[in-house]
Amino acid sequence: MAVLLALASAVVYGMADFCGGLASRRAATVAVVAVSQAAGLVVLLPLLPVLGGDPDRADLVWGAGAGTAGAAGLLLFYRALAAGVMSVVAPVTAVSAAALPVLGGLLLGERIGVLAASGIVLALAAVVLVAAEGGLSSLRTARLGTVASALAAGAGFGAFFVLLDRTGGESGLGPLVAARVVSVLLVGGLALLARRSLRVARPALPVVLLTGIGDVTANALFLAATQVGGRLAVTGVLAALYPASTVVLAQVVLRERLSGTQRAGLAVAAAAVVLIALPA
């Protein structure tokens, strides 16, 4: 069940990123991030009395930490995009986001079988291949500053997974609400301090709202994967396969052509999922 929930979170994360990319073509990036984060919080709050669980103070602190890491990751990610190119930033960010939960899980004492370990290695490779829109050659020409920003952004996303995994199994959506409140306050506050407009034009608003709803749904699926006993090294790397969903949607909806590297990455991702899902 944990594997299926983590995979579902990857699919929805990819859909949210795709919508966010479309929204960023129609509105300022900071406005897209701030409004979409707020939209996710609005969706969560009515569910809290039903699915809120019984979080203790530690669960809420872990959730708030996850929100801080996720918000920092978003801001660093868009800073890296502004300084570099997507074909470099995306794969570097994605592999950093995937590697940190694997490392965190192993450091926390998780033990995985040979098949699952092989699948994790393949998944890390798949993340790079799928996200490398410009092919692997683009990575060789990347500037050090761009790579550093992308790695830091991915570390923020990976830390989000690690910190959310530390919450208790009975905490329900409580930690996610704490995460989203902190994220909204941080992103919105920084935007206001920088005097950036948070206004989103009406034609772009539905896509921005869909981005926020998709993102928080993916968060909830990942949290559920951890709460049913999923191992962080497995759930984290599976959730980080989200670029596969994004590139498939881009091909289907926008008729974008996949590079040979991306097609290879999708095949490697499929093999990785099979190995991870097989019983030890």
Helix or strand (DSSP H, E) at 53: none
Most confident of the following: 26-30, 192-196, 217-221, 265-269: 217-221
Concatenated DSSP letters of 214-258: HHHHHHHHHHHHHHTT--HHHHHHHHTTHHHHHHHHHHHHS-PPP
pLDDT band at 86 (very low <50, low <70, confident <90, very high): low
Concatenated DSSP letters of 129-198: HHH-TT-THHHHT--HHHHHHHHHHHHHHHHHHHHHHTS-TT-TTHHHHHHHHHHHHHHHHHHHHTT---
Tell me which of 108 and 12 has the higher pLDDT: 12
- Tens digit of pLDDT for each residue in 161-190? 999 989 988 888 899 999 999 999 998 888
Burial 224-256 (b: 16+ CB within 10 A, else e): bbbbeebbbbbbbbbbbbbbbbbbbbbeeeeee
Is pLDDT at 240 greater than 80 in this prediction? Answer: yes
Is pLDDT at 277 greater than 80 in this prediction? Answer: no
Burial environment of residue 11 by CB neighbours within 10 A (0 to 12, 13 to 18, 19 or more): buried
- The pLDDT, as a whole number, for residue 244 is 79
What gap in Å lies between CA 94 and CA 265, rounded to an integer?
A: 13
Tell me which of 134 and 239 has the higher pLDDT: 239
Q: What percent helix, strand, coil does the chain show, rounded to 5?
A: 80, 0, 20
Lowest mean pLDDT among 103-117, 134-148, 266-280: 134-148
- The pLDDT, as a whole number, for residue 135 is 59
Mean pLDDT, the chain, integer: 83
- The pLDDT, as a whole number, for residue 217 is 94
Is pLDDT at 219 greater than 70 in this prediction? Answer: yes
Q: What is the mean pLDDT of residues 223-245?
A: 85
- The pLDDT, as a whole number, for residue 50 is 78
Query: What is the total count of domains within the chain?
Result: 1
Domain ranges, residue 253: 2-277
